[in-house]
A and B are shown apart, each in its own frame.
Chain A
């Protein structure tokens, strides 16, 4: 009975997320007013910002998992970090592409080598490399260790993306004045986007656990090894 209840949590969560995504899309199209200067392309902002914030959150999850793996050496942290890195790349791709499309309309160019855009591209590349180096390392423990160290280093770019418009001259918008309806729509978009990011991380994590269970002996999926006081494991 319990397992049947657990089994429907995933589909229900997915359906709720999809319905909320449809609702905020409808809200954005029919209810939110059109911005006077930029027109409809300003509405790209409603997906761009939540995707960007959730990219940072996913990168932070990779960072935490990397640190925890280095401390505990549990495969669980490596699998969760890998799942978060996949979602970070997905969301960062959305951020870059929506930003480029907005830039084409607002600035007349697909890309500008400004600090915010450059550090964002570097962030995307860093996590793409994280995903690319994993299959090239055969030993699962060595792979987890290298990725954990890399995950800590890669996170250093997140503060640079965040602070780039504050500390360096940049044409990327810093603050945007919005009508109350626009602000509400933006806040509403954070709900399904955050649910989506969390759901995708959990699903990817489950896939990673299943793949690891299928490819490795049972003892490598263990809990942290308990080391007796004053002795070796």
Chain B
């Protein structure tokens, strides 16, 4: 692998982690809100 490929790999891994966590948070929040469980709120 050359330097460019390592850089692409690093950003791909980072975006997958960030995107995965953000997507999970969004889905979980939507599920809990839609099911009307609890009062919630910040």
Contacts and interface: CB of A to CB of B under 8 A. Distances in A.
Interface centre among B4, B11, B26, B41 (most CB of A within 10 A): B11
Nearest to B21: A90
A93 B26 contact: no
Contact of B6 (A101, A196, A207, A210): A101
Interface centre among A196, A207, A210 (most CB of B within 10 A): A210
A210 B17 CA distance: 24
Contacts of A114: none
A200 B29 CA distance: 11
B14 A211 contact: no
A90 B19 CA distance: 11
Given A44-B10, A196-B18, A206-B29, A105 B40 contact: no
Interface in A198-233: 200, 202-207, 209-215, 218, 221
Contacts, number: 99
Nearest to B38: A213
B4 A203 contact: no
A40 B21 contact: no
Nearest to B13: A97
Contacts of A93: 17
Given A202-B42, A207-B25, A209-B42, A98 B13 contact: yes
A127 interface: no
Interface residues of B, number: 27
12 contacts: A14-B22, A25-B11, A40-B6, A44-B10, A94-B14, A98-B14, A101-B10, A105-B1, A203-B26, A203-B29, A207-B29, A210-B33
Interface of B: 1-4, 6-7, 9-11, 13-14, 17-18, 21-22, 25-26, 28-29, 32-33, 37-42
Given A25-B11, A202-B42, A209-B38, 10 more contacts: A14-B26, A39-B3, A41-B7, A44-B6, A94-B13, A94-B17, A98-B13, A200-B25, A206-B41, A213-B40
Interface of A: 14, 25, 38-44, 47-48, 51, 86, 90, 93-94, 97-98, 101-102, 104-105, 196, 200, 202-207, 209-215, 218, 221
